Amino acid sequence: MARIALVKPDKARAVENSVLAAAQRGQIQEKVSEERLVAMLEGMAEREAGARKVTITRRRPAFSDEDD
């Protein structure tokens, strides 16, 4: 987590919060392994990628020189 916090402190905080919330709900009873932490980070990245998707559609002008 310390290495993640150096690069992206907001992402590290979000992962810490999700781990704490899962522990409070009783979903985590043991130490969080590196594999599980990586899986959580990948899940967050997928959700962020879906939320930030931008689609640009370009419209052709009604009257252009290329129509001739």
Q: Tens digits of per-residue pLDDT, 4-25? A: 888 888 888 988 898 899 889 9
Position 59 scores a pLDDT of 78
Cβ within 8 Å of residue 44, ≥6 positions away: 11, 14, 15, 18
The Cα 24–Cα 16 span in angstroms is 12
The confidence band for 67, taking pLDDT boundaries of 50, 70 and 90, is low
- Whole-model pTM above 0.75? no
Give Cα separations from 61 to 55, 58, 64 (angstroms): 19, 9, 6
